[in-house]
Structure 1
Amino acid sequence: MFRHHLLLAYRNFKRYKSSFFINLIGLTAGLSCTLLIYLWVNDEVQMDGFHDKTVYQVMQNEHITERVNTVDGTPGILAEALAKEVPDVATAVTTSPAYWLAKSKIALNGKPPVNAAGKFAGKDFFKVFSYPLLSGSADKVLAEKNTVVVSEALAMKLFNSLDVIGREVIWTNAEMEAESHALISGVFKNVLRNSSDQFDFLVSLDVLLTAGNATYAKWNNYGPNTFVSLKKDADPNLFNTRIRDFLKEKGVKDYTLFIRPYADSYLYNQFENGVVAGGRIDYIKLFSLIAVFILIIACINFMNLSTAKASRRLKEIGVKKVMGVSRRSLMLQYLSESMMLSLIAMFVSLLIVELALPQFNNMTAKHLSLSFSPGLVFPLLGITIFTGLISGSYPAIYLSGLKPAAALKGKIRLTSGAMWTRQGLVVFQFAVSVILIVAVLIIHKQVEYVQTKNQGYQKDNVLYFETAGKFNGNAGFAVEQIKKIPGVVNASSINREFLGDLSYTTGVFNWEGRDPKEVIKFQRADVSTGLIETLGIQMAAGRSFSEKFTSDTSKIIINEAGIKVMRLRDPVGKIFTLWGEDMQIIGVIKDFHFESMHQQIKPMFIRYKPTGTNRIMVKIASGKVKEALAGLGEFNKTYNPGFPLDYKFLDQDFQAQYVAETRVSLLSGYFAVLAVLISCLGLFGLASFTAERRFKEIGIRKVLGATNLSVVYILSRDFTKPVLIGILIALPIGYVFSRLWLASFAYKIELQLWFFMAAGFMALLISLITVIFQAYKAAGINPVQAIRAD
């Protein structure tokens, strides 16, 4: 029987080629889109999944004024204290955040350094995390202070061998002002791509907690990350209760602790007022929903075309029913047809996905591939079966339910229920398409807004590089020499990344009139003279730092947001006490966006402390970039041989802040176009069949004097109504979704009526072009041939 159904399906596909290819193209497009999204989603949800499920990250809630701010930075000695004092902890470890040593250099004595990403890590790092060691003992590799553990790739790059235990290396990092000789104590397997934490070497945490960085060994200062592995029988909720006020017991007020599963940190990385508020999981949900809807749109095309063309199969249905074929058997036949079409579409989709993956990987910064493992094969089968059942279910029910007498006579009347179902499916198709168009338009406008809005600083033609080698601790000399290079407008230095969370302090400053109960958080940066001018930051009041004033080391500059929370009038000349030292406010800078526009501009102060700077920033004249870069290269070769000039342009960092939004904008644009095209493909098929079914009617109307325009109007009006209804339904839904997405930005566009009108008009125009093209083609027939047709 199954073979018989497949044979019938093949014959029907061969007989009705146009319908077959329309359905095949629609299902193939839908399945290709779904498969690409599935590969991306599967890669995202598997991130960090190889670690033990008992590993948790300890987080801090800062209770600042009337809100709660959640951070992952903790005191550097928290892990050791938790392991000793809380019974539920099996093992605990402290590590540095990824960005602290992300731009490190590591070298052999007398040889040029290579770039490598590192981390400080406690002695139990390899007991908590599931990174396999190739050599060395998990108990000992980080137990000694001057030890380093390297990846197999780094070992091969440095020594061309994995037999490296006991060999000496020199690692440097501008961020931590560190340069150290260390002995290799172990080699770990290269970190997998599905790890959110990527690093090439680990340094003993003791280096971080010694004299120069003793600040991280205090309870009232934090920055490192803390991770715990709980005992098998431990209750995470009860553990949260036990550690909530752990810091208060250590004399630290206004901070509470809690844990979250480490595997959740990648997907759920946004908090609002101390509660998880989403993160990357939102984009996973969004694209999963898009995949389901696009697949359903493709299935709807099959449903509509199959039911619309039921008249072609009336005699077949009637004869079979008279011969005693059951309705169940007929349903199986039609489901077999849809399943066979779904299988063909899946095979074609696999070919398309294989060809599209390189470009898709470029857009998503992934390394996805089609590897036919059980983890992919079973979902593929599931998607194929789902598509076949969904697309074939309604036609099977509808066609198998036709009355035999009416079927044999070739006359069936479309019931109101069937008509409403078909119209409703078209409405659904275009409602989804319009929602996607609205989403694309809003995302594009927001990304355009953040990229063109005045950031409060000049990012064009500004490059920076970290001090290394002879420039370590001698940034002032480098800056003065760089200013002399042709094409360089200005140069200065700063002690950390210019964009991003600059590092902050709270509770160690004071001023006249401050409320002692108010907790305020200030971002901070140490700079040399000329930084404000190099970056084009505007002064709102007072002056910038200058070498003309030797006393500027006791002066401070604060941004407008800081002055606002301080509630100071005429702040220039007032005293700002910082870490027990009185510092005079000499200037107020206008607010600038040192973080992305997801964040409000925070209070910030800048100190003049050139000896503490380790990142040199250079402003180059427009059109002189090539000349200036050549000069910088020669300067570095002369004064810092053996250390390559690894520079980066500031506008690259700016773009990196919105990489997720840019990718979402690009991908959603492709998916929206695909949804509209699939929907219009269905309309094209329906319009084609309608024109075919009303062939004789068109001929009679033309004989009676109907113009081509009136025939086009008659044929297209029935399709315009559901499209308009779909648009009207979609616009308010699109508005709600747009508001929800924009809520994650502190600075955002205003939603305007024309955004939604444009989306609706675009969908309507495309659908009208599709239908009118087919209708106009039908209107141009010879009326005599139409009347003579059977």
Structure 2
Amino acid sequence: MFQHHLLLIYRNFKKYKSSFFINLVGLTAGLTCALLIYLWVNDELSMDKFQAKGNQLYQVMENETTDAGVKTTDNTAGLLGETLLKEMPEVEDAVMVSPAYWIAFSKLSVKNNTGIKGGGLFAGKNFFKIFSYPLISGNISQVLNSKNSIAISERMAMKLFHSTDVLGKEIKWENSDMKNENHALISGVFKDIPASSSTRFDFVVSMDLLMVPESGLRAWTNHGPNTFIVLKKDAVPETFSAKIKHFMKSKGVDRRDLFIRSYSDSYLYDKYENGQQVGGRIEYVKLFSLIAVFILIIACVNFMNLATARASVRMKEVGIKKVMGASRRSLIMQYMGESLFLTFLSLFISLLFVELLLPQFNEITGKNLSLHFELKLVLALTGITIFTGIISGSYPALYLSGFNPAAALKGKLSHTAGALWTRQGLVIFQFTLSVILIVSVLVVYKQIEFVQHAQVGYQKDNVLYIEAEGKLKNNAGSFITEVRNIPGVINASSMDKRFIGDVKGTIGDFNWEGRDPKQVIYFQFAGINSGLIETMGMEMTQGRSFSGKFGADSTKVIMNEAGIKIMGLKNPVGKIFTLWGKELQIVGVMKDVHFESLHEVVKPMFFTYNAKNTNRIMIKIKAGQEKEVIAAVGQLYKDFNSGAHLEYKFLDQDFQEQYVAENRVSLLSRYFALLAVVISCLGLFGLASFTAQRKLKEIGVRKVLGASEWGIIYSLSRDFIKPVLLAILIALPLSYVVTRHWLDTFAYRIDLQLWYFAGAGFLALLVSWLTVSVQAIKAGMKNPVACLRDE
């Protein structure tokens, strides 16, 4: 019986080559898309799931209440972890870890080595006990016990020593934010961080370096480090989270409520609004999963439509089989078998395409995905394929097997309105999804274009920056003076942190005349050198910027417009701003600048003069002279920092990195939208071809009776264009809701224009009309004699 079904499947595929080819191409494209997305989604969902204590591992978060709303942060008080461990019986272990950006750009070196850049962490003694980063060498309970101990990655050990047998060896590490070089002894070597970890680092040093008695990190009013805890197995996370909500009040700190989130959720669920979790990267996981399902369904619809359209051709086959005693169940199994066979054939072809496309897909997504046929992937592939096969074949199998045998043998198949509307409904469904994708692609593209060309308050082009390291730290001022004399350099200056995405914030201790004592304001702040505002092309709306011409600018402060607005000052220049017990005079107001991405609103901010501690040197270069300037700066860098090699980065690279996820979504959505349209049009082409073939005699008669060729073309095209028009009408309001929701993730965004929707609808209509008209014109131009002779 099985061989018989295989033979029938082969004969039917051979007999209906065009339908077979269209279905094969559509299903292969749909499965290729689905498999690529599956690999990406699976990688995203597996992030941080390798932690052995993952079910008990939580991060302590803070909700900070200000006049502008609730700000959620993962920065906590330095003493929080050890205090929770002492005072809360539910806590089994706790550790304090610095955010990655604290020492993200550090240099590690040994004797006779110029140094290697790497990212690091400050961490508590039990870091390696809590987190599953296995040690190749070293004692897990002692590796960070000493202030001068350091644990390095396997990769870093091989680069510095060409060996992992390095315990006890001395290493030097430095960072732009650290005043002095740090000499440490290697106390551990850990395996390279797995790709499924959202945290990347090359070395870990003891938090004891920072937690000295006089450190501000020991004050409950300050916050900065991340706190991670391991709950006991019998602890209820929700109950514990509620229990510690007002814990900070018991330490004399108001307005800062605590809660916990699962460590494994931090990667995907990282977005909060007004104290509530509202998504994050999980939104893109859901989006692309939905796109994969949509494209698969679009491909399945082609199979359904073509199979039901050809029902009249196969009705005698059904009638004979029923007369011969075939049950409806056996017929269903046969037609489902055809669908599943075709789907599995498509799967094997799609696996070849996935293997070919993976390098490009990895480049787009920034991942290192590969096809490894472990049990999970095999089950997923089988499940996706069977799902696709069943969806594709279910309706045709039920439809074909339901024919009345007598009517089928007579060739009197009743073309019911239900069957016709089913086919048109499937076409409507296909093109509705396609139009939604087209609109989405257009809106994402326009928003990314808006972001990249928006007025952010500074000039990001042709600006390179370097980290002041080694001997240069103490001579940054002289270095900047020399850089300004290099031909092609417009200006140069410095600041105390990276220009984009590295600004700190505080809600106290500051004051000014007329301030409401109940007012709680979150201020960002940065220390800058004279000339930075001019170098970066930032604008002053009132007063002046910092300058050596005015003497002691260390007692002055510059505010941004957002800060002045929330402070309620009408004539701010000359007024006193008390900061951390020190009176500073406001000498200028700067136009608002986006130091963060356009997802965030511009926050109140102040700038202090801090030339001695500004170790990020910004250099503005004339367009077209970048190569010559970089060479000259490199030589000057060696003169100031003998033996060191210049490492630099352009500011516009940092700007683009803020929108990596959006750029990937934009590019991928273009490919997926194009694929959806192509698959939909393939189905429409197949239907038009079959319909034209079935109506050849009708066309011949009408032409003999005087019908014009264009009249026949219009008549054939009209029936297919109607469902596409209806699909467009359904899709446009749905696409508005979808794109509006995505745009709401940006604080600054484009307005949805009518032409986005009209253009998408027109494009879908044009493509579908061209697809149908090819067959309509071919049929309309045919000789009527040939039409009448055709069977």
Do they fold alike, i.e. is TM over 0.5? yes
> Distance in 2 between the 1:430 and 1:540 partners?
52
Shift of 1:340: 0.2
Q: Deviations over 1:702-760 (max 9, x none)?
A: 12222221111111111111101111000000001111111111111111111111111
User: 2-side partners of 1:246 and 1:597: how far apart?
Assistant: 34
* Closer/same/farther in 2, CA of residues 314 and 624 from structure 1, 3 Å limit: same
Partner of 2:722: 721
Partners of 2:607 and 2:213 in 1: CA distance: 25
Match of 2:36 in 1: 36
- Residue 759 of structure 2 corresponds to 758
* 1:277-322 C-alpha deviation (Å, 9 max, x unpaired): 0000000000000000100000000000001011221221111011
Task: Indicate yes or no: 2:380 matched with 1:375.
Answer: no
Output the amino acid matched with 2:580.
W
Displacement of 1:132 in angstroms is 0.8
Displacement of 1:694 after TM fit?
A: 0.2
- The whole-number CA distance in structure 2 between the counterparts of 1:760 and 1:702 is 33
Aligned mates of 1:326, 1:566 — CA distance in 2: 82
Name the CA distance, whole Å, in 2 between partners of 1:175 and 1:9.
71
SS of 1:473's equivalent in the other structure is helix
Please name the residue that 1:57 is paired with: 59
Correspondence for 2:361 = 360
Paired letter, 1:15: K
> Which consecutive residues of structure 1, in runs of 5 or more, have no partner in the other structure?
none
Shift of residue 66, structure 1, vs aligned partner = 5.8
CA-to-aligned-CA distance 1:586-638 (integer Å, 9 cap, x gap): 00000111111110000111111101111100000111111101101111122
Q: Are the equivalent residues in 2 in contact too, given 1:339–1:388 (CA < 8 A)?
A: yes
SS of the aligned residue for 1:630 comes to: helix
- Distance in 2 (alpha carbons) for counterparts of 1:301 and 1:370: 28
Residue in 1 that maps onto 2:197: 195
Is the Cα contact below 8 Å between 2:465 and 2:616 reproduced in 1? yes
1:733 alignment partner in structure 2: 734
Is the Cα–Cα contact under 8 Å of residues 244 and 258 in structure 1 kept in the other structure? Answer: yes
Aligned partner (choices 120, 128, 134) of residue 126 of structure 1: 128
Q: Aligned in 2, Cα 1:66/1:111: closer, same or farther, shift over 3 Å?
A: closer
The equivalences for 1:599-614 within 5 A come to 599-614=600-615
2:790 & 2:585 partners in 1: Cα distance?
96
Instruction: Provide the C-alpha distance between the structure 1 equivalents of 2:412 and 2:776, rounded to a whole number of angstroms.
Output: 24
Q: Offset of 1:178 from its aligned partner?
A: 4.7
Whether 1:88 and 2:82 are equivalent positions in the alignment is no
Match of 1:145 in 2: 147
- CA–CA distance in structure 1, aligned partners of residues 542 and 98 of structure 2: 38
After the TM superposition, which residues 378-393 of structure 1 pair with which residues of structure 2 at under 5 Å, given as runs? 378-393=379-394
Give the Å deviation of 1:642. 2.4
Q: Distance in 2 between matches of 1:584 and 1:285?
A: 51
Tell me if structure 2 keeps the 8 A contact 1:152–1:162: yes
Q: Which stretch shows the higher mean deviation, 416-425 or 533-542?
A: 416-425
- Cα deviation for residue 3 of structure 1 reads 2.3
Contact 1:494–1:527 (Cα < 8 Å) also in 2 = yes
Match of 1:101 among 100, 103, 116: 103
Number of corresponding residues: 789
Shift in Å, 1:175: 2.9
Aligned to 2:119: 117
Deviation at 1:375, TM superposition (A): 1.5
1:644 aligns with 2:645: yes
2:222: which partner in 1? 221
Match of 1:159 among 143, 158, 161: 161
- The 8 Å contact of residues 473 and 614 in structure 1, kept in 2 or not, is answered as no
Q: Secondary structure at the match of 2:693?
A: helix
Which amino acid in the other structure matches residue 204 of structure 1?
S
- Quote the Cα distance in structure 2 between the aligned partners of 1:94 and 1:35: 40
Q: Where does residue 303 of structure 1 map in the other structure? A: 304
- The separation in 1 between residues aligned to 2:217 and 2:435, in whole angstroms, is 53
Aligned to 1:27: 27
1:182 aligns with 2:184: yes
Alignment match, 2:47: 47
Distance of 1:531 and 1:523 partners within structure 2 = 17
Q: Does 1:241 align with 2:212?
A: no
1:199, distance to aligned residue in structure 2 (A): 0.5
1:643 and 1:114, CA in 2 relative to 1: closer, same or farther beyond 3 A? same
Q: Return the alpha-carbon distance in structure 2 between the equivalents of residues 604 and 696 of structure 1.
A: 78
Alignment correspondent of 1:491: 492
- Report matched runs for 1:534-549 at 5 Å: 534-549=535-550
1:568-596 Cα offsets, whole Å, 9 max, x none, are 01100000001111100000000111111
- Equivalent residue of 2:233, what SS? coil
Q: Distance in 2 between matches of 1:322 and 1:739?
A: 57
The alignment partner of 2:181 has SS state of strand
- TM-score scaled to structure 2, two decimals? 0.99
SS of aligned partner of 2:722: helix
Structure 1 match to 2:598: 597
Counterpart-to-counterpart distance in 2, 1:759 and 1:400: 39
Q: Which amino acid aligns with 1:500?
A: G
Q: Distance in 1 between matches of 2:111 and 2:78?
A: 31
Partners of 1:597 and 1:486 lie apart in 2 by 35
Matched residue SS, 1:605: strand
State the Cα distance separating 1:201 from its structure 2 match. 0.5
Residue in structure 2 matched with residue 772 of structure 1 by the alignment: 773
Partners of 1:176 and 1:48 in 2: CA distance: 30
One-letter code aligned to 1:23: N
Does residue 1:284 correspond to 2:292, yes or no?
no
**Cα separation, 2, equivalents of 1:570 and 1:501:** 30
Distance in 2 (alpha carbons) for counterparts of 1:488 and 1:752: 42
Superposed CA deviations along residues 125-159 of structure 1, whole A, max 9, x for unmatched, are 01111111111111100111110001111111111
Partners in 1 of 2:761 and 2:180 — Cα distance?
A: 58
Partner of 2:458: 457
Q: Percent identity?
A: 61
For residues 469-491 of structure 1, the C-alpha deviation after alignment (integer angstroms, 9 at most, x for no partner) is 11123321221111111211100
How big is the shift at 1:217? 1.8
Question: For residues 185 and 642 of structure 2, what CA distance do their matches in structure 1 show?
Answer: 25
Given that 2:68 and 2:521 are in contact with CA atoms closer than 8 Å, whether structure 1 keeps it comes out as: no
Structure 1 counterpart SS, 2:118: strand
Task: Assess if the C-alpha contact under 8 Å between 2:152 and 2:202 holds in 1.
Answer: yes
Give the gaps of 5 or more residues in structure 2: none
Show the 5 A alignment for 1:610-689: 610-689=611-690
Pairing 1:5–2:36 present = no
Verify: 1:73 aligned to 2:78, yes or no: no
Residue 501 of structure 2 corresponds to: 500
In 2, Cα distance between equivalents of 1:66 and 1:354: 50
For the 8 Å contact 1:501–1:523, the answer to whether it is kept is no
Q: Tell me the distance in 2 between the aligned counterparts of 1:179 and 1:270.
A: 36
| Structure-2 separation of matches of 1:775 and 1:176 | 74
C-alpha separation in 1, matches of 2:507 and 2:581: 13
Deviations 1:34-91 (A, max 9, x none): 0000000000000000112210000000011262110000111211111111111111
Alpha-carbon distance between aligned partners in 2 of 1:259 and 1:470, rounded to the nearest angstrom: 43
1:302, 1:392 within 8 Å by CA — same for their partners in 2? yes
Question: Retained in 2: the 8 A contact 1:30–1:295?
Answer: yes
Letter paired with 2:279? G
CA distance 1:448–1:242, shift in 2 (3 Å)? same
Q: Secondary structure at the match of 2:75?
A: coil
From the superposition, tell whether residues 127 and 254 of structure 1 become closer, same or farther in structure 2 (CA, over 3 Å).
Answer: same
Question: Is contact 1:171–1:179 with CA below 8 Å preserved after alignment?
Answer: yes
TM-score (norm 1): 0.99
TM superposition outliers: structure 1 runs of 4+ over 6 Å:
none
Aligned to 1:317: 318
Measure, in 1, the Cα distance between the counterparts of 2:159 and 2:450.
Answer: 43
Q: Say which SS state the counterpart of residue 696 (structure 1) adopts.
A: helix
Letter in 1 for 2:435: V
Deviation of 1:109 (Å): 3.0
| Distance in 1 (alpha carbons) for counterparts of 2:477 and 2:28 | 62
* Partner SS for 2:101: coil
Aligned counterpart, 1:332? 333
Question: 1:421-444 deviations in whole A, cap 9, x for unaligned?
Answer: 111111100000000011101111
